[in-house]
Amino acid sequence: GLRPNIDLAKKIGLKIGELGGVVVDEYMRTSIEGIYAAGDVVQVKHLITGKPTLGLFASTAFKEGRVAGLNVSGIEEKYPGTLIPWLVATEPINIGGVGLSYDQCVREGIKCTFTAVETLDVEPYEKVVNRVLMKLIVRSDDYRIVGAEVVSKANVARYVDMLTALIEAGKTVEDIVRLETVYQPKHAALLSPVFVAAEALYRRYLRIKRRKKS
Rounded to 10°, the helix 157-168/193-213 angle is: 40
pLDDT of 167 over the 70 cut: yes
Tell me if 99 sits within 8 A of 137, measured CB to CB.
yes
Residue 164: pLDDT band (50, 70, 90) is very high
Least confident of 32-36, 88-92, 157-161: 88-92
* pLDDT per position as a tens digit, 108-120: 999 999 999 999 9
Any idea which architecture 7-72 has in CATH?
3-Layer(bba) Sandwich (3.50)
Q: What residues does each domain of the chain span?
A: 7-72, 86-213
Give the percent of the chain with pLDDT over 70: 100
Tell me if 140 sits within 8 A of 204, measured CB to CB.
no
pLDDT of 3 over the 60 cut: yes
- Selection from 121, 120, 117, 154 nearest residue 134 by Cα: 117
Q: How confident is the model over 204-214, as a mean pLDDT?
A: 89
Q: Is there a shared CATH topology between the 7-72 domain and the 86-213 domain?
A: yes
Residue 141: pLDDT band (50, 70, 90) is very high
Domain over 86-213 is classified CATH 3.50.50.60: yes
Q: How confident is the model over 179-197, as a mean pLDDT?
A: 96
Residue 91: pLDDT band (50, 70, 90) is confident
Residue 1: pLDDT band (50, 70, 90) is low
Tell me if 86 sits within 8 A of 96, measured CB to CB.
yes
